[in-house]
């Protein structure tokens, strides 16, 4: 039975890394001693070691140990033996490229579908959808496929931003970008605002956090869903 937290972000404005969701993670990881961390997204180009140290400091607050997947001799075996997995944010293209390069796509799908707890934030959430085509990131590297883990039956747009009235910025809004996506693709897209997450348990997908999410369906008017809403019907 799938057991995931798919979060828009790791850090809210004015709070520490993962701080806003730590109470939830205490329960989520209650039976876990060591979390395998996937640092491949490398925000700002930081090293895997630097990123892993940052995550270790955060999880010390809830008495959990963290080991970066790059510290294992065999990353596939590390996933197969993991008690729990966390994939952090950064650049989604870099992350997915490395997952394909290390042949981790199928092992991740397999263990997560069996019920290993999985936490994703930002890029680590993007890869939970059907494809990464609705990421906000620059395509600085070209993965062998844009197809992602497919753990939920839709795409995700983390860090979703609403249009700002009277904003002088003349570029496209997130909503415009997602409409462009739907000119060529038909799967739904969930716009996850900061501080929101999806709680996946088996076939149940429930929006959590303080803010509503925006749902985009092919050839339909976008609509809002409130926290606590079940989203597993979206296909």
Classify residue 192 by its DSSP letter: P
Helix (H, G, I), strand (E, B) or coil at 47: coil
Percent of the chain topping pLDDT 90: 91
What's the residue count for the chain?
A: 235
* Active site residues per annotation: 122, 137, 159
Report the distance separating Cα 132 and Cα 126, nearest Å. Answer: 6
Burial level of 212, CB count in 10 A (0-12/13-18/19+)? middle
Q: Within 10 A of 185 (CB to CB), how many other CB atoms are there?
A: 16
Which distant-in-sequence residues (6+ apart) come within 8 Å of 214 by Cβ? 160, 162, 175, 190, 191, 193, 222, 223, 224, 225
- pLDDT over threshold 60, residue 59: yes
Assign 214 a pLDDT band (cuts: 50, 70, 90). very high
> b/e string for 35-71 if b means 16 or more Cβ within 10 A?
bbbbbbbbbeeeebeebbebbbebbeeeebebbbbbe
Among the residue ranges 85-94, 105-114, 141-150, 158-167, the one predicted with the least confidence is 158-167
Identify the CATH number of the domain defined by range 3-225: 3.40.50.880
DSSP H/E element including 79 = helix 75-80
Percent of the chain topping pLDDT 70: 97
- Residue spans per domain, the chain: 3-225
pLDDT tens, residue by residue, 93-106? 999 999 999 999 99
pLDDT of residue 170: 55
- pLDDT over threshold 60, residue 176: yes
Q: What is the pTM of this model?
A: 0.96
pLDDT of residue 130: 98
Assign 167 a pLDDT band (cuts: 50, 70, 90). low
């Amino acid at each position: 039975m799938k057991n995931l937290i798919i979060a828009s972000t790791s850090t809210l404005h004015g709070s520490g890394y993962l701080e806003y969701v730590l109470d939830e993670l205490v329960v989520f990881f209650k039976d876990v001693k060591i979390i395998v961390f996937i640092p491949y997204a490398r925000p700002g180009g930081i090293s895997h070691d630097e990123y892993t140290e940052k995550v270790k400091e955060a999880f010390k607050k809830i008495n959990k140990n963290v080991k970066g997947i790059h510290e294992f001799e065999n990353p596939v075996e590390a996933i197969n033996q993991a008690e729990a997995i966390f994939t952090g944010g950064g650049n989604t293209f870099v992350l997915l490229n490395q997952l394909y390069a290390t042949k981790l796509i199928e092992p991740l799908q397999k263990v997560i579908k069996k019920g290993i707890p999985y936490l994703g934030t930002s890029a680590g959430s993007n890869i939970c959808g059907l494809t990464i085509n609705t990421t906000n990131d620059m395509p600085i590297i070209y993965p062998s496929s844009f197809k992602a883990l497919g753990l939920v039956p839709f795409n995700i747009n983390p860090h979703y931003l609403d249009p700002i009235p009277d904003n002088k910025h003349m570029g496209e809004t997130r909503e415009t970008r997602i409409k462009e996506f739907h000119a060529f693709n038909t799967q739904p897209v969930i716009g996850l605002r900061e501080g929101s997450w999806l709680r996946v348990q088996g076939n149940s997908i429930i929006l959590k956090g303080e803010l509503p999410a925006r749902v985009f369906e092919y050839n339909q008017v976008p609509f809002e869903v409130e926290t606590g809403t079940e989203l597993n019907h979206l296909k």
